[in-house]
Amino acid sequence: MTIQPIDLTADPVRAAAVRTLLADAARVDGVDPFSEQFLLGLDDARRGHRHLVALDGDEVQGIAAGDGSSWELTVAPAHRRRGIGTALLEAVGGDDVWAHGNLPAARALAQGQGREMTRRLLVMAVEGDALRAAAGFTAPEGVEALDLPTAVERHGRDVVEEAWLEANNDAFSWHPEQGGWDRERLTRAQEVDWFAAEDVLFLWAEGEPELAGFHWTKWHTEEDPAFGEVYVVGLASGYRGRGLGGPLLQLGLEHMVSKGAGKVILYVEADNAPAVKVYEDLGFHVSEEHVVWSLG
């Protein structure tokens, strides 16, 4: 077995083999080993991801993918406990590594190499009656709810996307993945196959092309029945502290319930205690966790 750097965006045969490996790992582990951005990076050279592939002849036995700041990796279930995971972890050097699901084997591997858990990202879910109870949206005074197509028709795409970016980058200036977006990054985000413009919802100041906040929802069809996700929620800085956070969240929940969702999930940092408490009060519970392991 050797670890080789391979540009998977230029090698569709090996990229397909990696996708099969990832699907096998997800089926065995009960959690996807790669996040959406790293999956997209297998084909999209614009993301600039690096790929280290564990090969035995032509057989792909493991994969590590890096975006310049962190890595995600997994080993084919049939080839585990043979040192491949250790070899991949050593090959990524001192960069941070994500472990999706925080599974015992991943914890043991990371701790065995002296890594410490430095970030916990929770997946919280709400279902059934609790979801329907949380989804009662009423537009607050002075703002109106519009979806993306309606907002573009009314205000123009440039105005809408610039306001959307400003609110996003202000709300997530601290966030390593969601902050610092530009128009090109926003365009790329709308190119994914699951994107639907009507699932992006805004609160606008009545009579003004001024954005109060946005709720970008995501519809998951990889499971049956399909379910929804609170993908990104952000308030413009001038509208914080006005009691709009709850209605903005409920706007998206109501939209997803109207599409038939019986379950909605969201991602939240474990150390964001106020947000976790808000979600728990709405009926959300922790269903998964994803962690970053770092060298001291």
User: Annotated binding site, which residues?
Assistant: 36, 73-75, 81-86, 177, 218, 229, 233-235, 267, 272-277
| Mean pLDDT per 10-residue interval, the chain, length 296 residues | 96 97 97 95 95 96 96 97 96 96 95 96 96 92 95 95 93 78 91 95 90 96 91 91 91 96 96 91 94 93
In this predicted structure, what is the pLDDT of residue 9?
A: 97
Where do the domains of the chain lie?
2-113, 124-295
Q: What 3-state class would DSSP assign to 12?
A: helix
- The rounded distance, in Å, linking the Cα atoms of 203 and 139 is 8
Q: Which among 104, 21, 24 has a CA at the least distance from the CA of 65? A: 21
- The rounded distance, in Å, linking the Cα atoms of 217 and 251 is 10
- If one looks up domain 2-113 in CATH, what number appears? 3.40.630.30
User: Annotated binding site for acetyl-CoA, which residues?
Assistant: 73-75, 81-86, 233-235, 272-277
In this predicted structure, what is the pLDDT of residue 19?
A: 98
| Buried/exposed code over 46-58 (b: 16+ C-beta within 10 A; e: otherwise) | ebebbbbbbbeee
Could you check whether 2-113 and 124-295 share the same CATH topology? yes
Q: What 3-state class would DSSP assign to 13?
A: helix
Give alpha helix (H) positions in the chain: 12-29, 36-40, 84-91, 104-112, 128-134, 148-155, 157-171, 183-189, 245-258, 273-281
Residue 208 is encoded by which pair of tokens? 């003004």
Q: Which among 203, 187, 189 has a CA at the least distance from the CA of 254? A: 203
pTM above 0.75, yes or no: yes
Contact 151, 167 (CB under 8 A): no
Cα–Cα distances (Å) from 187 to 55, 68, 146, 157, in that order, read 35, 21, 20, 12
CB count within 10 Å of CB 69 equals 9
User: Is 124-295 in CATH node 3.40.630.30?
Assistant: yes
Contact 238, 244 (CB under 8 A): no
Q: What 3-state class would DSSP assign to 150?
A: helix
- The rounded distance, in Å, linking the Cα atoms of 10 and 49 is 12
Contact 290, 101 (CB under 8 A): yes
Q: Which among 27, 29, 47 has a CA at the least distance from the CA of 37? A: 47
